[in-house]
């Protein structure tokens, strides 16, 4: 049976593959909301990748960074959506 850390690195490779698909959508996207959807997906994959990498390397500090990254990317997504909507803050 494979070592558990190696398995997590393989999982990280698959997450990277999904992230490449999202980057293709960001480049190709016909309208602006398509690109925002791609960016939101990349943010979620980065959070998951940080959690997995923190376990594979064995340091918990990556998971703390992942929590902060989740909250900041949420705020940025809300601001871009509000900008597209064209309302007042």
Token pair belonging to 44: 């979620």
Instruction: Tell me which residue has tokens 């309302």.
Output: 87
CA-wise closest residue to 51 among 3, 1, 6, 15: 15
Among 24, 27, 46, 57, binds other proteins (CB under 8 A): 24
Smallest distance from other proteins to CB 56, Å:
10
Residue 64, interface with other proteins (CB under 8 A)? Answer: yes
Distance CA 83, CA 33 (A): 11
Token pair belonging to 46: 């980065």
Distance CA 8, CA 20 (A): 18
Residues 3-22 that bind other proteins (CB under 8 A): 4, 7-8, 11, 14-15, 17-19, 21-22
> Which positions touch other proteins (CB under 8 A)?
1, 4, 7-8, 11, 14-15, 17-19, 21-22, 24-25, 31-34, 36-38, 40-41, 44-45, 47-48, 51-52, 54-55, 58, 60, 63-64, 66-67, 70-71, 73-74, 77-78, 81-82, 84-88
């Amino acid at each position: 049976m494979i070592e558990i850390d190696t398995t997590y690195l393989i999982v990280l490779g698959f997450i990277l593959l999904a992230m490449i698909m999202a980057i293709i959508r960001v480049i190709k996207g016909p309208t602006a909301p398509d690109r925002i959807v791609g960016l939101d997906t990349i943010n979620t994959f980065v959070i998951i990748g940080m959690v997995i990498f923190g376990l594979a390397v064995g340091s918990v500090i990556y998971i703390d960074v992942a929590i902060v990254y989740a909250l900041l990317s949420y705020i940025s997504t809300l601001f871009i959506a509000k900008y597209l909507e064209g309302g007042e803050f």
